[in-house]
């Protein structure tokens, strides 16, 4: 007997249609043994399937960082990237990654030049798409409903360990102060930390700080559309 389709509201597009469970953040970022505590949401098949390639690219950008904490999670990210790049069907992906590599100067903390190294020039737009998906998914899960269509979602990418300049922005400082006073914190092992809060006068306006694997983070804002 065929399985009866599950009908529900997609956390990403807000439409009511056939849905499946989706992991937030994407399960491809975590080893199988740590996926049991991940957040799951309902997503329509169109939204669910449209994120796959961006999720893989997001994983690659994490795996090539040199500041990932030592451990099984970091090793998993790097092993999966090697597996993806060796896949015979990933020719186009390999070419895109190869075309994005650049040589950059390396300096010690005191500014001494140490030579050059190969680095990946990140496609910020692709990384932001996955970050926005993560915020939308967590918003729907923690606040109990999809983000209304009358609201926009904005994401600011941060490097929480090295480049603290974004945290000095007055608007960001205000958000962090609000989170410190009334925000909620959810931790999922050492791989994911989430801080979030809503404003007193608008339950749909919210602020998010999300950190993945202790080495990458971003801010999320949901605000009324002008």
Q: What is the pLDDT of residue 138?
A: 95
C-alpha distances in Å from residue 212, one per residue of 30, 35, 68, 163, 204: 10, 14, 10, 16, 24
- Average pLDDT of the segment spanning 32-59: 86
Q: What is the pLDDT of residue 208?
A: 92
pLDDT tens digits, 181-214: 667 888 876 678 888 988 888 889 998 988 888 7
Q: What is the pLDDT of residue 11?
A: 96
pLDDT tens digits, 58-100: 998 888 887 777 888 888 889 998 998 888 888 888 888 888 8
Give the residue among 224, 206, 171, 213 at the shortest CA–CA distance from 67. Answer: 213
- Average pLDDT of the segment spanning 112-117: 82
Number of Cβ within a 10 Å radius of residue 161: 15
pTM of the model: 0.84
Locate the domains of the chain by residue range: 7-120, 149-224
Contact status, residue 1 vs residue 14, Cβ threshold 8 Å: no
Strands 113-120 and 16-24, how do they pair? unpaired
Q: How confident is the model at residue 163 (pLDDT cuts 50, 70, 90)?
A: very low
Q: What is the pLDDT of residue 205?
A: 92
């Amino acid at each position: 007997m065929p399985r009866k389709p599950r009908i529900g509201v997609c956390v990403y597009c807000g439409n009511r249609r056939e849905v499946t469970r989706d992991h937030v953040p994407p399960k491809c970022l975590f080893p199988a043994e740590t996926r049991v505590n991940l957040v799951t949401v309902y997503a329509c098949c169109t939204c669910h399937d449209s994120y796959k390639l961006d999720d893989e690219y997001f994983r690659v950008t994490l795996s090539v960082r040199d500041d990932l904490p030592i451990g099984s999670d970091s090793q998993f990210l790097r092993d999966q990237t090697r597996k993806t790049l060796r896949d015979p069907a990933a020719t186009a992906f390999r070419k895109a990654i190869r075309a994005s590599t650049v040589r950059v100067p390396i300096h010690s903390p005191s500014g001494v030049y140490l030579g050059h190294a190969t680095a990946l020039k990140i496609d910020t737009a692709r990384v932001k798409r996955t970050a926005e998906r993560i915020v939308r998914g967590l918003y729907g899960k923690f606040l109990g409903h999809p983000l209304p269509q009358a609201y926009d979602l904005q994401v600011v990418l941060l490097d929480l360990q090295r480049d603290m300049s974004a945290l000095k922005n007055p608007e960001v400082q205000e958000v962090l102060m609000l989170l410190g006073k009334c925000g909620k914190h959810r931790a999922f092992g050492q791989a994911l930390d989430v801080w979030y809060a809503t404003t007193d006068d608008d339950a749909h306006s919210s602020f998010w700080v999300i950190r993945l694997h202790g080495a990458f983070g971003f801010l999320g804002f949901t605000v009324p559309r002008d």
